[in-house]
Structure 1
Amino acid sequence: MLRCSKRKFSYCSREVKMGLFRSHCYSIYCNSLWSRYKVATLNRHKVCHNDILKRLLGLPRWCSSSLAFARNGVNNLGVIRRHSVFSLRSRVELSANSIITSVRQGSAYVCGPIQQRWLGLLFVQSVG
């Protein structure tokens, strides 16, 4: 499918291609709830996300993904995930719903794997 899409959109402007990338690759539903995936699985997802951008732009696979994202004004997978986590966490913390309040006050929420993953994504840990 990606090869077909690459041919189909090869004559589109960079702006159109970036619009397509944003509309199709930013919507990673429920990624803020990913807490049980292994690091290797998340890394494979990141590589796939990077490859989609490079193929859409006709860049070689070995070129810098960071540079491709920066030059084209689109977010990489890490930024997309942090934004999703921050958005969901903010809504949970500010919710007045009695069920959400009850869950938020429970130890499963405070000390659970999702909260640990959220904190790991949102806060940079200083290195010795």
Structure 2
Amino acid sequence: MGLFRSHCYSIYCNSLWSRFKVATLNRLKVCHTDKRLLGLPRWCSSSLAFARNGVNNLDVIRRHSMFSLMSRVELCANSSITSVRQSSAYVCGPIQQRWLGLLFVQNVG
């Protein structure tokens, strides 16, 4: 599990992803939960194995990464970062929209 965490938690810059197809993200989720990486038989639940071993799923990893970056941007006192943060490109841009979409997941049903 330690090896899995070190390799699969490091999805660099995933908090900046704003343009991708849902099918692409779904393929990434399938790769992330590949039972062969965990050494599990086909019939075993990878979700249950993750839960028992304290391993986060891809959605949780992405939310943590995004929230971490968003918090650092909001608290940064650097003048360049502040000017970008106050621009309409940041406030209304695709990255901000993706962040808000990840933070405020709506339950349907």
Q: Does TM, normalized by the shorter one, top 0.5?
A: yes
| Aligned-residue offset at 1:55 | 1.3
SS at match of 2:33: helix
Deviation of 1:65 after TM superposition, in Å, equals 2.8
Deviation at 1:72, TM superposition (A): 1.6
Matched, 1:92 2:97: no
Counterparts of 1:1-20 in structure 2, within 5 Å, are 18-20=1-3
CA 1:55–1:113 in 2, change beyond 3 Å: closer, same or farther?
A: same
Q: Hey, what's the Cα distance between the residues in 1 that align with 2:63 and 2:42?
A: 25
Structure 1: stretches of 5+ with no match in the other structure: 1-17
2:6 — aligned with what? 23
TM-align CA RMSD: 1.5
Shift of 1:62: 5.0
Q: As a proportion of its length, which structure holds more helix?
A: 1
Change (3 A) 1:97 1:40: same
> Which range is displaced more, 19-28 or 117-126?
117-126
Structure 2 residue corresponding to 1:45, chosen from 28, 40, 47: 28
Unaligned runs of 5+ in 2: none
The structure with higher relative contact order (CA 8 Å, sep 6+) is 2
Q: How many aligned residue pairs are there?
A: 109
| Residues 64 and 30 of structure 1: CA distance in aligned 2, closer, same or farther (over 3 Å) | same
Shift of 1:116: 0.6
Name the CA distance, whole Å, in 2 between partners of 1:26 and 1:127. 28
Q: 1:125: how far off?
A: 1.9
How far is the alpha carbon of 1:126 from its aligned partner?
4.6
Question: In 1, Cα distance between the equivalents of 2:102 and 2:61?
Answer: 11
Following the alignment from structure 1 to structure 2, what is the Cα–Cα distance between the partners of residues 79 and 59?
Answer: 22
